[in-house]
């Protein structure tokens, strides 16, 4: 879905499989920022992280691609504890009742320039579902040199009217329009799972080695008083 057929298009098509590939969002490198106007004086932001979901990307025809995303609203942070508490309360997102926001694409179209797409989908938050259009631009597609996993990265932007989702408190003093900017990295799902399993196995080996070393040190420490007492006698 999020493929840029720009300057590197030939390389991308040559190196990518010519069929839809399933990617999983990489939670450590996927995040979003929302921005609003406060009385016209400033434009504060909040960030959301821990984004989960999958991307079906077809390099031969990106318009056949699709994406499904879940955003845990407990991850949203403005950096201001009082404001975060207000966001999570019934004044706004009512997180205990509606803990997750979701997006599921329904249509992918080519954008106005090479490497750009318009992704339409159903966005659900606070118990309300509305169609939303994302303007998407690919950052890069290729193999991640850190883990050798095929990866894809992109930017997505849109503007929402929060009142349409039952989140209209303090309009118009606080703007109804909310700007959303998401930066994402997604890794080929099967390869990423294998990478995570390999990391877990290595961590288990390290943990066992550390436990064995601790047991040796503990045994030596327990012997020391007995050896000292024997020496006195």
CATH number of the domain that residue 17 is part of? 2.40.128.110
- Among 8-17, 61-70, 96-105, 142-151, the minimum mean pLDDT is found in 8-17
**Tokens 């095929």 identify what position?**
150
With respect to residue 202, please indicate whether it lies within any of the assigned structural domains. no
Q: Which domain holds residue 173?
A: 9-189
pLDDT per residue as tens digits for the range 184-214:
999 998 988 888 888 788 888 888 888 888 8
16 pLDDT exceeds 60?
no
Q: How many separate domains does the chain show?
A: 1
More confident residue, 6 or 197: 197
141 pLDDT exceeds 70?
yes
With respect to residue 68, please indicate whether it lies within any of the assigned structural domains. yes
Mean pLDDT (whole number) for 139-156: 93
Alpha helices in the chain (DSSP H): 9-15, 81-88, 189-232
pLDDT at 96: 97
- Among 140-144, 147-151, 167-171, 208-212, the minimum mean pLDDT is found in 208-212
Which residues, including other chains, have CB under 8 Å from residue 127's CB and lie 6 or more apart?
97, 98, 166
Q: How many CA atoms lie within 13 A of 142 on its CB side?
A: 9
Which segments within 58-164 are labelled E, that is strand?
A: 66-72, 100-110, 116-125, 128-143, 150-161
pLDDT at 192: 83
With respect to residue 194, please indicate whether it lies within any of the assigned structural domains. no
Which residues, including other chains, have CB under 8 Å from residue 90's CB and lie 6 or more apart?
97
pLDDT per residue as tens digits for the range 73-129:
999 999 999 999 999 999 999 999 999 999 999 999 999 888 899 999 999 999 999
The answer to whether residues 187 and 196 touch, using CB atoms and an 8 Å cutoff, is no
With respect to residue 2, please indicate whether it lies within any of the assigned structural domains. no
pLDDT band at 217 (very low <50, low <70, confident <90, very high): confident
With respect to residue 138, please indicate whether it lies within any of the assigned structural domains. yes
8 pLDDT exceeds 80?
no
With respect to residue 196, please indicate whether it lies within any of the assigned structural domains. no
Token pair of 166, please?
């039952």
pLDDT at 10: 35
Separation of alpha carbons 16 and 142, rounded Å:
8
Q: Are strands 177-188 and 21-25 parallel, antiparallel or unpaired?
A: antiparallel
Percentage of the chain beyond pLDDT 90 is: 67
Q: What is the mean pLDDT of the chain?
A: 87
With respect to residue 183, please indicate whether it lies within any of the assigned structural domains. yes
Separation of alpha carbons 219 and 111, rounded Å:
68
Long-range contacts of residues 171-180, Cβ cutoff 8 Å, at least 24 apart: 173/38, 173/39, 174/36, 174/37, 174/38, 174/39, 175/36, 175/37, 175/38, 177/36, 177/37, 178/34, 178/35, 178/36, 179/34, 179/35, 179/36, 180/32, 180/33, 180/34, 180/35
């Amino acid at each position: 879905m999020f493929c840029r057929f720009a300057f590197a298009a030939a390389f991308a098509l040559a190196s990518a499989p010519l069929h839809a590939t399933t990617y999983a969002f990489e939670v450590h490198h996927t995040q979003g920022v929302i921005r609003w106007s406060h009385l016209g004086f400033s434009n504060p932001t909040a960030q959301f992280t821990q984004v989960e979901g999958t991307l079906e990307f077809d390099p031969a025809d990106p318009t056949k691609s699709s994406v499904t995303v879940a955003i845990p609203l407990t991850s949203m942070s403005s950096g201001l504890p009082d404001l975060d508490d207000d966001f999570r309360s019934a004044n706004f997102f009512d997180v205990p009742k509606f803990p997750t926001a979701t997006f599921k694409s329904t249509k992918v179209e080519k954008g106005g320039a090479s490497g750009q797409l318009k992704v339409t989908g159903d966005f659900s938050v606070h118990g309300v579902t509305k169609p939303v259009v994302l303007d998407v631009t690919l950052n890069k597609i290729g193999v991640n040199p850190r883990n050798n996993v095929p990866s894809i990265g992109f930017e997505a932007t849109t503007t929402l009217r929060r009142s349409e989702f039952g989140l209209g408190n303090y309009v118009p003093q606080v703007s109804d329009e909310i700007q959303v900017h998401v930066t994402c990295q997604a890794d080929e799902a099967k390869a990423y799972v294998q990478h995570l399993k390999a990391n877990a196995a290595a961590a288990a080996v390290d943990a066992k080695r550390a436990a064995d070393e601790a047991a040796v040190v503990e045994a030596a420490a327990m012997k020391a008083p007995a050896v000292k007492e024997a020496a006195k006698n």
